[in-house]
Structure 1
Amino acid sequence: MTEPTYVVGHQQPDTDTICSALAYARLKQEQGTAAVAARAGDVNPETEFVLDRWDVDAPELLEDAAGEQLILVDHNEYSQTVTGARDAEVVEIVDHHRIGDVETSSPILFRNEPVGSTATILTQLFDDADETITTQTAGLLLSGLLSDTVVLRSPTTTERDRTVAARLAEIADVDYESYGKELLMHKSKIGEKSPREMVLSDFKEFQFDSRKVGIGQIETVEPSVVLDQRDAVLEAMEEIATERDYAVFLLLVTDLLEEDSTALVAGPEIATVEDGLDTMFSDREAFLPGVMSRKKQVVPPLEDAFY
Structure 2
Amino acid sequence: MSQPTYVIGHQQPDTDTICSALAYARLKQAQGERVVPARAGELNPETQFVLDQWDCDSPTLLTDASGERLILVDHNEYSQTVEGARNAEIAEIIDHHRIGDVMTSNPIRFRNEPVGSTATILTELFDDADEPLSEDTAGLLLSGLLSDTVVLRSPTTTDTDRAVAKRLASVADVDYEAYGKRLLQQKSKLGEKAPRELVLGDFKEYEIGTHHVGIGQVETVEPAVALDRRDAVLEAMDELVVERTYDLLLVLITDLLEEQSELLVAGDQTRGLSTAFDIEIHERTATLPGVLSRKKQVVPPLETALDSPA
TM-score grouping bracket, smaller chain normalisation: over 0.9
Corresponding residue for residue 81 of structure 2: 81
Indicate the residue corresponding to 2:152 in structure 1: 152
SS of equivalent residue, structure 1 residue 24: helix
1:185 maps to a residue whose letter is Q
Letter in 2 for 1:73: V
RMSD: 0.6
Partner Cα separation in structure 2 for residue 70 and residue 239 of structure 1: 33
Number of equivalent positions: 307
Q: Which amino acid aligns with 1:98?
A: R
Could you report, residue by residue, the CA deviation over 1:192-250 in whole angstroms, capped at 9, with x for unpaired residues?
21000111000000001111010000000000000000100000001001111111100
- Offset at 1:276? 2.2
Which residue pairs with 2:55 in the alignment? 55
Q: CA deviation at 1:96?
A: 0.2
Secondary structure of 2:147 counterpart: helix
Question: Does residue 3 of structure 1 match 2:37?
Answer: no
| Cα distance in 1 between the residues matched to 2:276 and 2:246 | 16
**Counterpart-to-counterpart distance in 2, 1:57 and 1:272:** 45
- Alpha-carbon offset, residue 275 of structure 1: 2.9
Is residue 298 of structure 2 the alignment partner of residue 298 of structure 1?
A: yes
Please tell me the residue identity of whatever aligns with 1:201: G
Q: What secondary structure does 1:283 align onto?
A: coil
Query: What displacement does 1:273 show?
Result: 2.4
TM-score w.r.t. length of structure 1: 0.99
Residue 117 of structure 1, CA deviation = 0.2
Q: Specify the alignment match of 2:189 in structure 1.
A: 189
Aligned pairs for 1:12-91 (under 5 A) are 12-91=12-91
> Aligned partners of 1:85, 1:273: CA distance in 2, in Å?
32
Matching of residues 154-233 of structure 1 within 5 Å:
154-233=154-233
Q: For residues 27-63 of structure 1, what are the alpha-carbon distances to aligned partners after superposition, in whole Å with 9 as ceiling and x for unaligned?
A: 0111121110000000000000000000001100000
Cα distance between partner residues in 1 of 2:109 and 2:298 = 28
Residue correspondence of structure 1 range 110-149 to structure 2 within 5 A: 110-149=110-149
Q: Residue 274 of structure 1: CA displacement?
A: 2.3
Following superposition, the deviation at residue 270 of structure 1 comes to: 1.6
Moved over 3 A (4+): none
**Partner SS state of residue 36, structure 2:** strand
What amino acid maps onto 2:123 in structure 1? T
Q: Distance in 2 between matches of 1:285 and 1:34?
A: 48
Distance 1:181 1:18 in 2: 19
Unpaired runs of 5+ residues, structure 2, are none
SS in 2 for 1:236: helix
Letter in 2 for 1:277: F
Whole-Å separation in 2 of the counterparts to 1:25 and 1:278: 43
Shift of 1:278: 2.2
Q: CA offsets, 1:161-181, max 9 Å, x none?
A: 000000000000000000000
- Counting aligned pairs with the same residue, the percent is 70
SS state at 1:237 partner = helix
User: In the alignment, residue 177 of structure 1 is paired with which amino acid?
Assistant: E
Please give the alpha-carbon distance, in whole angstroms, between the structure 2 residues aligned to 1:205 and 1:280.
Answer: 24
Quote the Cα distance in structure 1 between the aligned partners of 2:92 and 2:247: 31
Aligned to 1:265: 265
| Segment drifting more, 16-25 vs 191-200 | 191-200
| 1:256-302 Cα deviation digits (max 9, x unpaired) | 00000000001111223223222221000000000000000000110
Is contact 2:271-2:305 (8 Å) kept? no
Q: Distance in 2 between matches of 1:236 and 1:260?
A: 23
Q: Using the TM superposition, name which of 141-150 and 239-248 deviates more.
A: 239-248
| Alignment partners' CA distance in 1, 2:272 and 2:12 | 26
1:84-117 deviation per Cα after TM superposition (whole angstroms, max 9, x unaligned): 0000000000000000000001000000000000
- Aligned to 2:264, the other structure's residue is in SS state strand
